[in-house]
C-alpha cells in the first residue's frame, strides 16, 4: 500500500474522533482575549503526538514597536500562542502550517438558525462561529501531521504547527511567532479557500481622506467652497490611480479579475446642514496592496496621487487633501509559481481529487503576508467556505476538512522528504 492509500485509510478510520475534536473546538468561544483554554487544549493535542510544544503569552511591550505590528489591543494576557514542532531528521525543507484560533463576534443570534457555537452536524456539515474561519483548517493541519506520525513516517525537514491569536485584528500572533524564531522554508495557511490554491494574497491598508472647503450659507453658496464638490475631484483621482495601478499588473493570475487591486471608498461623511456649504468631507477606504509591492510603496504612491491634486485644481495647492492611515493593515503575500511547493500541492490535490485544482489570486490578506515579509513563501489553501466567514450560520463540509488533511499530508511528505536512513 502506497503512502497515499495509507493516509486515506488512517484518516477514514479516525473520522469520528477528529469530528469530535472539531465540535469541541467550535464550542470554545475564542473571541479575541478568550483564547486561553482553547490553546491549552491545542497544546495538549500537540503533546499527544510528541511534538515539541511552546505555549506562551505574547508580550505586548516586546512587539508593539515592530513596524509590522498592528492590533487594537495593548495587552495580550490570556491570549497565548502555541507552536508544535515535529523536528525532522535533517537535510530537508521545513514547512510551517499556520492557523489562527481567534474568531470574529457571532453578531445577532437571531440571524443564526441554531446557537452560534453549537458544533451541530447537519448533512455532513459542522456548524458554528469560526469553523470555516478557520478551526476546520487548523484541524486539517493537525490531522495531516498526526496521520504521518501514526504511520511511522520520518521526515528530513521540520514541520511547524502554529496555532496563533489575533489574525482577525492584524496578525500580532503570527508576528510574535515569527519574532520568536519560528521560521521555515515555506508556509501553508489553511484559511477558507474552498480548496482553491491562492499563490497571491492581496494586502490592504485603510486610509482616511479629509477634504477641505469653506462654509457659507446655501443661498449664497458661491461665497463658500464646497468640500463636497471638491470630493468629486478626489474620488475621480482615486479612480484614476486604481486604473493606473491595475493596468501596470501583468501577472497572469489576475487575468480574469476585473480589478485585481481595488481601491475601495467605503465611507463618506460631510457637512451638517442642508442649507450650509460643507467645509469638510471625510472619506474612508481600503487600498488593495499587490503581492509584488510593499504596503509602504503603495502608501507612498497613494499619497503622491493626493499631493498631485493641486495640478488638477489649484484649490488643493493651498488646501491639500489630508491622508491618514488607520485601523488594520494586511501585508500582501504569496509564493513564486516556480516554487516546488506550489507544484507539490497541485500534484497532491490532483492525486486526491483526480482533477486539477483551481488557482486564483486572493482578494484579501492573511497572516501569509507577514510570512512573506520574513522571506517565507506562503500559500493559502484550506477547506472552509469563503462566503461564510464572518457570516451567520457559518459551517464547513467535513469531507473537505478530511480531503484537505490528506492533501496536506502528501504535500508535507513531498516537501520535507522522507528520511530513509
235 near a copy of itself, rule: CB under 8 A: yes
CA-to-CA distance for 190 and 353, rounded, in angstroms?
A: 17
Side-chain half-sphere of 26: how many Cα atoms within 13 Å? Answer: 31
Bridge-based pairing state of the strands 121-122 and 125-127: antiparallel
206 near a copy of itself, rule: CB under 8 A: yes
Q: Which single residue is written with the C-alpha cell 497572516?
A: 367
Among 57, 150, 194, 284, binds a copy of itself (CB under 8 A): 284
Min dist. Cβ of residue 95 to a copy of itself (A): 27
Among 273, 312, 336, 343, binds a copy of itself (CB under 8 A): 273
CA-to-CA distance for 224 and 262, rounded, in angstroms?
A: 33
Interface with a copy of itself (CB under 8 A), residue total 46
CA-to-CA distance for 353 and 383, rounded, in angstroms?
A: 13
17 near a copy of itself, rule: CB under 8 A: no
418 near a copy of itself, rule: CB under 8 A: no
Window of 30-38, 41-49, 116-124, 200-208 that interacts with a copy of itself by CB under 8 A: 200-208
CA distances from 7 to 96, 155, 416 (A): 20, 15, 16
List all residues 6 or more positions away from 56 whose beta carbon is below 8 Å from its beta carbon: 80, 81, 180
Min dist. Cβ of residue 266 to a copy of itself (A): 4
Among 60, 69, 364, 374, binds a copy of itself (CB under 8 A): 364
Min dist. Cβ of residue 326 to a copy of itself (A): 8
Among 162, 202, 331, 372, binds a copy of itself (CB under 8 A): 202
CA-to-CA distance for 252 and 235, rounded, in angstroms?
A: 29
35, 102, 242, 280: the catalytic one is: 102
C-beta separation of 333 from 66 below 8 A: no
Min dist. Cβ of residue 258 to a copy of itself (A): 4
Query: Which parts of 299-338 interact with a copy of itself (CB under 8 A)?
Result: 327
Cβ-based nearer residue to a copy of itself, 47 or 358: 358
91 near a copy of itself, rule: CB under 8 A: no
CA-to-CA distance for 271 and 269, rounded, in angstroms?
A: 7
CA distances from 23 to 82, 139, 177, 228, 271 (A): 20, 11, 26, 52, 50
102 is catalytic: yes
Window 247-266: contact mask with a copy of itself (x via CB under 8 A):
-----------xx--x-xxx
Q: Is 222 helix (H, G, I), strand (E, B) or coil?
A: helix
104 near a copy of itself, rule: CB under 8 A: no
Q: Which single residue is written with the C-alpha cell 504547527?
A: 161
CA-to-CA distance for 18 and 37, rounded, in angstroms?
A: 19
33 near a copy of itself, rule: CB under 8 A: no
167 is catalytic: yes
Cβ-based nearer residue to a copy of itself, 79 or 366: 366
C-beta separation of 154 from 418 below 8 A: yes
CA-to-CA distance for 310 and 316, rounded, in angstroms?
A: 5
C-beta separation of 137 from 384 below 8 A: yes
Window of 107-115, 126-134, 159-167, 234-242 that interacts with a copy of itself by CB under 8 A: 234-242
Closest CA to 162 of 170, 151, 181, 213: 181
Min dist. Cβ of residue 186 to a copy of itself (A): 24
Distance of CA 341 to the CA centre of its chain: 19
CA-to-CA distance for 294 and 300, rounded, in angstroms?
A: 10
Among 229, 299, 313, 417, binds a copy of itself (CB under 8 A): 229
Cβ-based nearer residue to a copy of itself, 267 or 358: 267
Min dist. Cβ of residue 47 to a copy of itself (A): 38
28, 167, 185, 242: the catalytic one is: 167
Cβ-based nearer residue to a copy of itself, 15 or 221: 221
The binding site for a copy of itself (CB under 8 A) comprises 202, 204, 206-208, 217-222, 226, 228-229, 231-232, 235-236, 239, 258-259, 262, 264-278, 281, 284-286, 288, 327, 362-364
The residues annotated with a catalytic role in the active site are 102, 167
Amino acid at each position: 500500500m502506497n503512502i497515499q492509500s495509507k493516509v486515506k485509510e488512517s484518516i477514514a478510520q479516525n473520522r469520528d474522533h477528529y469530528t469530535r475534536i472539531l465540535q469541541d473546538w467550535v464550542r470554545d468561544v475564542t473571541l479575541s482575549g478568550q483564547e486561553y483554554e482553547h490553546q491549552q487544549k491545542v497544546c495538549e493535542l500537540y503533546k499527544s503526538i510528541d511534538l515539541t510544544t511552546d505555549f506562551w503569552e505574547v508580550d505586548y511591550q516586546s512587539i508593539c514597536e515592530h513596524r509590522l505590528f498592528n492590533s487594537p489591543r495593548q495587552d495580550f494576557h490570556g491570549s497565548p500562542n502555541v507552536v508544535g514542532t515535529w523536528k525532522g531528521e535533517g537535510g530537508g525543507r521545513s514547512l510551517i502550517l499556520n492557523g489562527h484560533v481567534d474568531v470574529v463576534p457571532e453578531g445577532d443570534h437571531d440571524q443564526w438558525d441554531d446557537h452560534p457555537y453549537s458544533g451541530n452536524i447537519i448533512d455532513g456539515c459542522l456548524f458554528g462561529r469560526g469553523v470555516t474561519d478557520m478551526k476546520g483548517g487548523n484541524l486539517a493541519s493537525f490531522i495531516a501531521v498526526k496521520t504521518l506520525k501514526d504511520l511511522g513516517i520520518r521526515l528530513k525537514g521540520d514541520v511547524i504547527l502554529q496555532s496563533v491569536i489575533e489574525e482577525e485584528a492584524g496578525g500580532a500572533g503570527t508576528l510574535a511567532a515569527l519574532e520568536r524564531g519560528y521560521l521555515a522554508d515555506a508556509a501553508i495557511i489553511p484559511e477558507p479557500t474552498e480548496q482553491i490554491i491562492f499563490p497571491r494574497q492581496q494586502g490592504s491598508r485603510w486610509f482616511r481622506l479629509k477634504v477641505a472647503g469653506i462654509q457659507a450659507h446655501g443661498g449664497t453658496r458661491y461665497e463658500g467652497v464646497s468640500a463636497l464638490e471638491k470630493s468629486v475631484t478626489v474620488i475621480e483621482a482615486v479612480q484614476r490611480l486604481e486604473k493606473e495601478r491595475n493596468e501596470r499588473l501583468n501577472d497572469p493570475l489576475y487575468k480574469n479579475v476585473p480589478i485585481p487591486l481595488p481601491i475601495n471608498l467605503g465611507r463618506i461623511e460631510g457637512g451638517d446642514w442642508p442649507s450650509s456649504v460643507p467645509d469638510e468631507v471625510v472619506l474612508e477606504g481600503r487600498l488593495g496592496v499587490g503581492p509584488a509591492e510593499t504596503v509602504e510603496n503603495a502608501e507612498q504612491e497613494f499619497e503622491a496621487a493626493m499631493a498631485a491634486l493641486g495640478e488638477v485644481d489649484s484649490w488643493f495647492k493651498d488646501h491639500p487633501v489630508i491622508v491618514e492611515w488607520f485601523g488594520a493593515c494586511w501585508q500582501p503575500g504569496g509564493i513564486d509559481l516556480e516554487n516546488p511547493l506550489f507544484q507539490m500541492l497541485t500534484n497532491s490535490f490532483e492525486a486526491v481529487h483526480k482533477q486539477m485544482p483551481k488557482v486564483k489570486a486572493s482578494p484579501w490578506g492573511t497572516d501569509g503576508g507577514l510570512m512573506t515579509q520574513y522571506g517565507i513563501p506562503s500559500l493559502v489553501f484550506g477547506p472552509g467556505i469563503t462566503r461564510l466567514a464572518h457570516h451567520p450560520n457559518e459551517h464547513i463540509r467535513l469531507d473537505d476538512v478530511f480531503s484537505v488533511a490528506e492533501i496536506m499530508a502528501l504535500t508535507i511528505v513531498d516537501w520535507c522528504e522522507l528520511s530513509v536512513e
